[in-house]
Structure 1
Amino acid sequence: MEPLLAVKVGCLVALLFLTLICGMAPAFISWFLKKSVTGIYELIICLISSFAAGIFLGACLLHVVAGFLSDAAVELAYINYPMGELILSFGFFLVLLIERIVLQISQRSESTVQENIPMPSTPQSPDDNYQEKNDPQSEKSLPPEDPHNHVHPHVYSNSSFRSLILFCSLSVHSVFEGLAIGLQSNYSSALEIAIAVLIHKGIIVFSLSLKLIQSMTRPAWLITYIVIFSLMSPIGITIGIIVTLKKTTIVTLVQTILAGISSGTFIYVTFLEILPQELNSGDRPLLKVLFIIIGFTVMAVIAIWA
């Protein structure tokens, strides 16, 4: 087996098992079944998330986008237009559109549910209102939002429907991430992106599993979600491998377009989802930036051989 194909197949198998293990862990290890994270657990999640963000940033800038633009300049040189940038933008807006549609559906569903919930009619005394406003330990006080929940907004929402929508959205991301690996044409490039996706995918599926658990998802459905999600990236890798095996002119053009779309999704995921989630948290900002830089440095070192 050629080294390039070996990396792709190895990443396919590793992604499958890693996603299954990380996805099932919260459901079977009581330490993970916490509604809030504190202490060493909080620190570990924080640093891993920041490191993964740096890994993804490095893979995006140093290889995915640069590699695609280089290939597009060769394959689409006969078109007097920045087609590479246009295809990148298409991939970016494709994911943006999917995310906005998903969010709109989720918000409408949530509004409908809230409208159907009757408001409590029990009157409150002025003393009760005063205590509720001034007592931080009041039972009606909302818990503080955890700034270290990685990946996507509303990860710890209590809506099962939002969990399903989140699952569908992440599954779409996973297919394109797998495509980015399967479409690579050299060993070093495939290895670089594989490392980024492996680290990121472990954190993604871990957060998704916690979300499903806290949304009171039944164990059978939880397992079903995780298994299906685990198959998404391998499916993307498989599609990419099949496309790259046929080296006709049309297939090469299709490969370039698909690579551009997947590169656009990388830009979206990196700059509008992963980095904002890490940098908008006010806790340990310098430490988080340090681990983002460390993750980026790892990708920069690997890119020496790309």
Structure 2
Amino acid sequence: MESLIGVKLGCLFALLALTLVCGLSPICSKWFKIDTATGHHRQVLSLLGCTSAGVFLGAGFMHITPEALEGIESEIQKFMEQNRTRGKADSSNDAESAFVEYPYGELIISLGFFLVFLLESLALQCYPGASGQSTAQEEERGGNPVFDFHSHESLSSPKQSPFRAFVLLLSLSFHSVFEGLAVGLQPTIAATIQLCLAVLAHKGLVVFGVALRLIKTGTQSRWAISSILSLAFMSPLGLALGMTVAAGDSEGWKGLTQAILEGLAAGTFLYVTFLEILPRELSSCEPPLAKWGCVAAGFAFMAFIAIWA
């Protein structure tokens, strides 16, 4: 038992160290400042951004969404089994089968998507331009942007959204807590190490991509560092919680609530990926096939990691 606790503590520090290194390296290095880059340097950074977009796409489809769907389906099945043991024989088998087969996971992820869509729409309704619309779009509506964060960018380039950057950090924070929780709940040393390695394999790339997003949105260094620090402590926090939670505590409404929150986080992650990250990277002036290749490479790497994750 003490050996298992020691391994989990080692995983805790490994998750913390990897996140800090991968997240703070781009922020603290002047080489990644795309605003000051020119020529070949700027092109390399732009293509690196496309690769990070592919990493986000792969993380969403190959890691975050499948884990959320699996968790929700598992909790729904547990809920049905508990109802059976309580002797609810008056419900028909057909009705029970329909209840289980309904795509609850997909519904919850979609609700997460539409929740962020609603919040951003409300923000845009109250403060036009706050969600990062381009100046050209504002001029077409005959209005002036209220928050002009990037007036130096071209009119054809979609502007960065501070709100979406915040949503990205929030959704990844939720997911990181659940990843750490899963590691902390493992009953054996072998299972703990295997799952921790799987988490480490894709977490470093995702956090590196987050750091690049913060740099491109023009986030001040102190706020970017604070964001990475808060994100870095999410997985260790979840792992510590998992170590203190008994296996039976994950049953019932607590486990179902965790699965629902992870599904909502997956929906918000997909929203930011498709409406902020991919459009932004694909709007750059690099050759289309080069951008496609970088996005595909990032996605392929995450798909490869999913063999073990």
Taking structure 1 as the reference length, what is the TM-score of the superposition?
Answer: 0.67
Aligned residues: 251
Match of 1:84 among 105, 127, 131: 105
Match of 1:181 among 171, 176, 194: 176
Distance 2:307 2:15 in 1: 21
Look up the match of 1:131.
none
What amino acid maps onto 1:72 in structure 2? I
CA contact (8 A) 1:55 1:299 kept: yes
Question: Offset at 1:202?
Answer: 2.0
CA contact (8 A) 2:72 2:256 kept: no
Where 1:145 maps in the other structure, the secondary structure is coil
Q: CA 1:200/1:175 → structure 2, altered by over 3 Å: closer, same or farther?
A: same
Distance 2:154 2:231 in 1: 30
What amino acid maps onto 1:202 in structure 2? A
Look up the match of 1:57.
57
1:101 and 2:122 aligned:
yes
Look up the match of 1:11.
15
Distance 1:33 1:54 in 2: 19
CA contact (8 A) 1:55 1:298 kept: yes
Look up the match of 2:209.
200
Look up the match of 1:46.
46
What amino acid maps onto 2:159 in structure 1? H
Distance 1:108 1:205 in 2: 19
Question: Offset at 1:282?
Answer: 5.0
Question: Offset at 1:223?
Answer: 4.7
Q: CA 1:32/1:99 → structure 2, altered by over 3 Å: closer, same or farther?
A: same
Cα RMSD (Å) of the superposition?
A: 3.5
Distance 1:197 1:5 in 2: 22
Q: Comparing 55-64 with 14-23, which one deviates more in the overlay?
A: 14-23
Q: Which runs of 5+ in 2 are unaligned?
A: 81-98, 183-194
Q: CA 1:193/1:17 → structure 2, altered by over 3 Å: closer, same or farther?
A: closer
Distance 1:9 1:258 in 2: 25
Question: Offset at 1:284?
Answer: 0.9
Distance 1:234 1:46 in 2: 25
Q: Which runs of 5+ in 1 are unaligned?
A: 117-141, 156-164, 213-221
1:233 and 2:231 aligned:
yes
Q: CA 1:88/1:205 → structure 2, altered by over 3 Å: closer, same or farther?
A: same
Identity of aligned residues (%): 28
CA contact (8 A) 2:172 2:231 kept: yes
Question: Residues 69-126 of structure 1: CA distance to partner in whole angstroms, max 9, x if unpaired?
Answer: 1222221133443221121112212222233334444427799x9699xxxxxxxxxx
Q: CA 1:223/1:46 → structure 2, altered by over 3 Å: closer, same or farther?
A: closer
Where 1:55 maps in the other structure, the secondary structure is helix
Distance 1:89 1:175 in 2: 17
CA contact (8 A) 1:180 1:240 kept: no
Question: Residues 122-156 of structure 1: CA distance to partner in whole angstroms, max 9, x if unpaired?
Answer: xxxxxxxxxxxxxxxxxxxx976288x8xxx424x
Match of 1:275 among 275, 278, 288: 278
Q: CA 1:226/1:283 → structure 2, altered by over 3 Å: closer, same or farther?
A: closer
Distance 2:145 2:279 in 1: 32
Question: Residues 240-277 of structure 1: CA distance to partner in whole angstroms, max 9, x if unpaired?
Answer: 43554424113322221121112112211222222222
Distance 1:271 1:5 in 2: 36
Where 1:183 maps in the other structure, the secondary structure is helix
CA contact (8 A) 1:243 1:255 kept: no
Match of 2:165 among 161, 170, 182: 170
Distance 1:53 1:223 in 2: 22
